Amino acid sequence: MPRAFFLLLGVQFLSTLADNAFLIVAIARVLELSGPGWLIPLLKISFTLFYVLLAPFVGPLADAFPKGRVMLLANALKVVAMLLLLAGCSPVLAIGLAGLGSAIYAPAKYGLITELLPPRDLVRANGFFEGTTVCAVIFGTVLGGLLVSPWMPRFQLPFVTLTAGVTPTALIAGMLVLLAMNTLAMLLSIAVVDSGARYDPHSIHPRALLQRFWLENALLWRDPLGGLSMSVTTLLWGVGATLQLIVLRWAHEALGLPLAQAAYLQGVTALGVVAGAALASRYVRLAHAQRLLPVGIAMGLLVPLMLCISSPWTAALLLIVVGGLAGFFVVPMNALLQHRGCTLLTAGRSIAVQGFNENGGMLIMLGVYAAAIALDLPLSLLVLGFALLVSGGMLLIWLANARLRRPMPDHYQP
């Protein structure tokens, strides 16, 4: 692996670390302001919205400039988002601006992987990348728990002058930590190498971009392997984003844990994902990715077991197993989707199409979850419903793509 790839890993780790801690801090801010329960999924919706709205535009943007410069702009927007939160802005608005930065950032970071590495290294690279990302999720959720814990306010006295005139909050010190992390990620983006890849220029008129994006989206869906991997990752991203919030609620209602400790338990899930991603990068070939659908079915069947658990330690063990299956399953599917997208389109444009579909799935699922909270539906019904959606959806995809279960031709093998 080239050095440029590991620098990209470092920027990705720091940025994702801050993003996941930001969500916990934003949730704590909503609770501090005594906001209604449906505002919590709205935070995630606000963060995700720009991934969908700007999907036709961020791919061409990532391809039109050196991707390190695009990453610099994206991290600068996250810095501004933290400044707004410190200034007393609505957490929904602040996290939405951070989501805008992440939407711009995604095609650049994933597109740079496909530009720097040959197809044979994509599964291994995705194992590194997803493992690093999930480690950032682990430490980010743990860090978020620390930043909203009761002992954190003792560090904010030196910063009182920075928050003069703002409504008092116990979260100032934590917000400043996140500001420093996003600033560091922005500075590191300056050193990200230019891969030298250049693409043919196209019209930047919004109508032309929308038309082109629609055709590119249809092209990737019509491709047998692209459509298969897209349907799998779209379903898993949508359900996974919602389960992230369900785990926080379950830890509070079933296990009696406060938000800080519930965040630690949520981070435990990512430990399993790291292990699963490492195993996939070591043992799964790109040619066999489409044969892993039964793993997704098994993962969904395990989720309802959480309703029978009352011990945090048993809960942690179950979440590690579920995370392990998710990591082992998603990494090859993501590598397959990236490979087909880069083959059929360009690196940046294919990632934009992927982001549009996956985050569109997240918006739909989060909207359903917000509505369920507003209707005061019981937690057990939500857990069973989402578990059925995962296993049932994977089973349908498995049956609909029976002809793709055999290995791909040799030229797809890494």
Cα torsion 344, 347, 353, 358 to 10°: value is 120
| 411 domain residue, yes or no | no
| 372 domain residue, yes or no | yes
Tokens representing residue 199 in the block: 């693409």
Cα 129–132–137 angle (5° rounding)?
125
| 198 domain residue, yes or no | no
DSSP label at residue 311? -
Which residue range(s) make up the domain with 273? 3-188+206-405
Q: Give residue 374's Cα distance to chain centre.
A: 25
| Number of domains comprising the chain | 1
Question: Please, what is the angle between helix 172-189 and helix 122-147, to 10°?
Answer: 150
- Residue bearing tokens 């971009």: 209
pLDDT category at 79 given cuts 50, 70, 90 is: very high
| 145 domain residue, yes or no | yes
Is residue 414 scored above 50 in pLDDT? Answer: no
Is residue 183 scored above 90 in pLDDT? Answer: yes
pLDDT at 196: 57
CATH number, position 217 = 1.20.1250.20
Per cent of the chain over pLDDT 70 is 83
Q: Identify the CA nearest to 143 among candidates 104, 178, 172, 110.
A: 178
User: What digits encode the pLDDT tens for the residues 239-292?
Assistant: 777 877 888 888 878 888 887 777 777 777 777 777 777 777 676 666 666 677
Is residue 116 scored above 90 in pLDDT? Answer: no
**For the whole model, what pTM was predicted?**
0.73
